[in-house]
Amino acid sequence: MSNLVLARWQFGITTIYHFFFVPLSIGLVFMIAFMETMYVSRHDDTYKQMAKFWGKLFLINFSVGVVTGILQEFQFGMNWSDYSRFVGDVFGAPLAVEALASFFLESTFLGMWIFGWDRLSKRVHLTAIWLVAIGTTISAFWILTANSFMQEPVGYVVKNGHAEMSSFGALILNKQLWLEFPHVWLGAMATGAFFVLGISAWQLLRKQMPEAFKRSFQIAAVVALVSSILVGLVGHAQAQHLVHSQPMKMAASEALWNTSADVAPWTLVAGINPQTHTNSMQVQIPGMLSILSYNKLHGSVEGINQLQAQYVQKYGPGNYIPPVRTTFWSFRIMVFAGGLMILLGIWSVVAVVRNKLTTRKALLRIAVPAIALPYLANTMGWVMTEIGRQPWTVFGLLKTANSVSPTVSAGMVLTSLIGFTLIYGILAVLDVMLIVRYVKEGIDTTSAPTVSHSQPTIAPL
């Protein structure tokens, strides 16, 4: 294999692995902050025990996420030096703010939160965890500011063969950013919610600390439903933006080889042949692609063959078609997982509202493996976003083939790839072992709850 192919494999493996941890950290910390808010406002120690329990799992996940993020930066510098030189003047500001402000905000106040129990006042301690939550969100914002530039470059001029920032305002007002950021953030909230939902369900099946895990399930059910619906709505708006900003990605995600009719059908499944640019079998829903693209029954969508001809004329000879099968199926798997998340969220909320949670054994059993659903949706969404942009690293400006380090050999990339894979494998084993251990231990009940019997049971609904 060439160093380009190996570098792409390394980028895919390291980024997907890193992306397992980031959404959970963002989503979980907000629910911990909410639990502690309930503890401070209602003086109910059960919420304190809940915050401490989920806080342990957050710390394990956050720690591994930080390590994988550092390795991510290392492989960027080693394998993608031409890319780094091209975008360095643009990415410098947002990534510097992310490192100096967001990461320090998270780290400093996370330390205060870990060691501040019973040392800081309740309100100061509560402020610390909310600042950690805000820090994770700000961090995601700046990272996605950089990624949005790769999807839709704005606020730059190209001088001496590399991009220079001409407008910081344009960079942070990029329309792609304001669709991509809420989509990713809501996906993170769903990840945290389904994580809490699944583990709470498992503990309820074991009848361990039923009151605490019932409350955890109640909070997670509401967050899971709301975030799953909203992430779908924002994703729909993002797809409509894609029709104009990256029409080739849109066409590839639909395996639409030729420009559609005015009433465009949506392809549910298809047998895709990239060599002949045809679909051997397809199941379609009439008019649905027009609705998804324009919110109306009319409106054609440009096809891959027509866009390829336009791009050759605009950018010069070359193949501008991304891997169609990967883009097509990753999009559908993401949507399918998201649909299941909405259905499970509805089922969970209905069970909570009817106070039938402990009797819905089937729901509890399904909620446990459903922890994987948001991970599947997040990963497939990222695959579609990045693979669908090919052959560009920065759309319309820099091709992936021109981004790789010219002096790093295939053997060197392969060596680092093997090394990273081994390190990530060890980290994965340790991460799972620690999480399983603390989940089995359950909630620390050494301090008895002080909730009064006269106080009503707290529910998020």
Task: Quote the pLDDT of residue 121.
Answer: 92
Q: Which of 269, 384, 249 is nearest to 321 (CA)?
A: 249
| pLDDT of 72 strictly over 80 | no
Q: DSSP letter at 299?
A: B
Q: What is the mean pLDDT of the chain?
A: 90
19: nearest Cα among 198, 140, 129:
140
What per-residue confidence (pLDDT) applies to 447?
53
**Model confidence band, residue 445 (pLDDT cutoffs 50, 70, 90):** low
Q: What is the pLDDT of residues 319-342, one digit of tens each?
A: 999 999 999 999 999 999 999 999
pLDDT at 459 over 50: no
Is 70 exceeded by the pLDDT of residue 228?
yes
- Tokens at residue 307, please? 């866009």
Q: What's the DSSP call for residue 448?
A: P
- Cα–Cα distance between 191 and 144 in angstroms, integer? 18
> What CA–CA distance (Å, rounded) separates 308 from 315?
10
Alpha-carbon gap, residue 362 to 373, rounded angstroms = 17
From the number of C-beta atoms within 10 Å of its C-beta (0-12, 13-18, 19+), residue 9 rates as middle
pLDDT score at 309: 96
Structure tokens at 33: 């902050």
Q: With H, G, I as helix, E, B as strand and everything else as coil, classify residue 69.
A: helix
Q: Is the pTM of this model over 0.75?
A: yes
DSSP 458: P
Residue 460's pLDDT is 37
Count Cβ atoms below 10 Å from residue 177 Cβ, excluding itself: 22
User: CA torsion 338→341→342→348, rounded to 10°?
Assistant: 180
- Tell me the average pLDDT across 265-292: 91
Q: Is 142 exposed, middle or buried (0-12, 13-18, 19+ CB in 10 A)?
A: buried
Percent of the chain with pLDDT over 90: 66
What is the pLDDT at residue 461? 35
Question: In which residue are the tokens 């930080």 written?
Answer: 66
Query: Strand, helix or coil at 51?
Result: helix
Residues 285 and 266: their CA atoms lie apart, in Å, by 5
Could you tell me if 48 and 32 are in contact, meaning their C-beta atoms sit under 8 angstroms apart? no
Phi/psi of residue 277, nearest 5 degrees? 55, 45
Q: Where are any strands of DSSP class E within 202-345?
A: 266-273, 278-285
pLDDT score, position 65? 84
The per-residue pLDDT for range 350-402, each reduced to its tens digit, is: 999 998 887 788 999 999 999 999 999 999 999 999 999 999 999 999 999 99
Judge contact between 372 and 197, C-beta under 8 A.
no
CA angle 427, 369, 352 (to 5 degrees): 125
Residue with tokens 């996940």: 61
> What is the H or E stretch that residue 398 is in?
strand 398-399
Terminal CA-CA length for the chain: 56
pLDDT above 70 for 451: no
Work out the average pLDDT over 244-261: 94
Q: What is the DSSP string of 211-233?
A: HHHHHHHHHHHHHHHHHHHHHHH
> Measured between alpha carbons, how far is 459 from 461 in angstroms, rounded to an integer?
5
pLDDT at 448 over 70: no
Query: In terms of DSSP bridges, do strands 162-165 and 266-273 run parallel, antiparallel, or are they unpaired?
Result: unpaired
| Predicted pLDDT at 358 | 77
- Find, among 267, 261, 242, 263, the residue nearest to 322 by Cα: 242
Full DSSP string of 75-140: HHHHH-HHHHHHHHHHHHHHHHHIIIIIIHHHHHHHHHHHH-TTTS-HHHHHHHHHHHHHHHHHHH
Burial of 161 (0-12, 13-18, 19+ CB in 10 A): exposed
